[in-house]
Amino acid sequence: MKSECGTHSSDEWKVVVARNFEEIEAIRPIWEQMQRKGPHPTPDADIDRYLSVIEACSDDVRPCVLLLEYEGCPAAIIIGRIEKHQLALTLGYQSLFKPTLRCLSVVYGGILGQPEGDYCSLLIGALRNQLRAREVDVVYFNHLRTDTAFYQAIRKIPGFLFRGSLSGVEDHWHMSVPESMERFYLSRSHKSRYNLRRTVRKFEEDYPCKDQLVKYTTEADVDDFIQMSAGISSGTYQDALGVGIVNDERTRSLMKAAAKHGRFRGHVLLAGDKPCAFQFGLCFGRIYYLVNIGYDPAFRPYQPGTVLFLRFLESLCDDPSTDVVDFYFGDAWYKKRYGTEHWPETCVWLFAPRAHLIFLNALQNFAIWVNAGLKCVVRKIGAEDWIKRGWRNVLRARS
């Protein structure tokens, strides 16, 4: 492994960079111990999932993990991978253009050890060394918590020209699994409780079936789940945005790797014998991470996504191994409606000190500010939900 010195390095400090599978396996015990001790461990930062993602990707993706040592003892880890990344400059859902950059992507939850003070400065210094050495064009932090010392350090150290403006702070929602569905319904308002029960009842009356909800958990289940879910996903707006489920070898490899470690969870809701909604998640510790959900627009009047989630939640009430549902990224209405806890997150970019990258950063900042201004205006006139629905309908038509 290669040693690098951060800005405040001394004989006491050392940053070691692991760049291949062998070097990463050498720090596996340190990695796993740090993640276990963290307050919010995530599946994205799990070493086995990290390796499976790199294995499933092309040769253009390679590991880059930074280990900070103090007096020979592990102090913190940053988990990243070097890959090609499209910098999406958008207005609303509409993409203006997408320049491709060489990116060091720090995975979600990939800052281990809860670094503070000089630890943060040294790690950021090591990342900036990667930029100065032209190893990468940009460092990308995927949904960094804004209530952490590392985020505050990121905001202070790099100059404004080299730091990507906030893409907007979003709430990340958790939901505590209720003791029973009756307890869940009682936590809703009278109107909400009535509407939810009526939605489920209407679906069950029109599509009576003993096994409406099909669950997939094993490696042998993966092919069937992908075939079912990808067929539904192809008609959703998520698919047009490139975040749907695709029936390809990369998706298959990742899901089978998750199933191998007991973390894969797939659910499909059947309307008679026709799949009408799907949900894909990962179990990690005592938390279920809801990664992807979608439904067939032809069944929209039945709200199949809601029916699937409620049936799924009912199964969790009887599962003593799961305490929490994590709604992952995004601001979908159901996350706010059902969530019981949340915290702020945002994506952050650090750009290399090169003219064309500074220009791209300025364009991105401008687009973000325009989007924020437009969002503020449409919220004030009460048109946000209407515009979102309109964009999503356009994207569904294109997919």
What are the two backbone dihedrals, phi and then psi, of residue 313, each rounded to the nearest 5 degrees?
Answer: -60, -35
Task: Give the homologous superfamily in CATH for domain 178-322.
Answer: Gcn5-related N-acetyltransferase (GNAT) (3.40.630.30)
Q: What percent of the chain has pLDDT over 90?
A: 63
Cα 117 off chain centre by: 27
Specify the pLDDT at position 9.
Answer: 47
Same fold, 2-169+348-398 and 178-322: yes
Q: Average of pLDDT values for 213-234?
A: 94
Residue 76, pLDDT > 50, answer yes
Are the C-beta atoms of residues 151 and 119 closer than 8 Å to each other?
no
**pLDDT: which is higher, 96 or 151:** 151
Model pLDDT for residues 13-39, shown as the tens digit of each residue:
899 999 999 999 999 999 999 999 988
Quick one: pLDDT band at residue 239, thresholds 50, 70, 90?
A: low
How high is the pLDDT of residue 235?
67
DSSP string across 159-225: -GGGBPPP---EEEEEEEPPS-HHHHHHTS-HHHHHHHHHHHHHHHHHS--TT-EEEE-SGGGHHHH
**pLDDT exceeds 90 at position 323:** yes
**Distance from C-alpha of 281 to C-alpha of 278, rounded to nearest angstrom:** 10
Task: Give the model's pLDDT for residue 7.
Answer: 37
Q: Where are the domains of the chain?
A: 2-169+348-398, 178-322
Q: 2-169+348-398 has which fold?
A: Aminopeptidase (3.40.630)
Q: Are 80 and 65 in contact (CB under 8 A)?
A: yes
In the predicted structure, residue 391 carries a pLDDT above the cut 70? no
pLDDT tens per residue across span 156-179: 876 667 777 656 788 999 999 999
What 3-state DSSP class applies to 366?
A: helix
Residue 65 φ then ψ, to 5°: -120, 125
Higher pLDDT, 376 or 297: 297
pLDDT number for residue 315? 94
Mean pLDDT of 114-132: 92
Q: Taking 70 as the threshold, does the pLDDT of residue 153 lie above it?
A: yes
Q: Is 59 a residue whose pLDDT tops 90?
A: no
For residue 227, name the pLDDT band (cuts at 50, 70, 90): very high
- pLDDT value for 360: 84
| Portion of the chain with pLDDT greater than 70, in percent | 87
What pLDDT score was predicted for residue 245? 87
8 A C-beta contact, residue 222 and residue 264: yes
Asked if the model's pLDDT at residue 66 lies above 50, the reply is yes
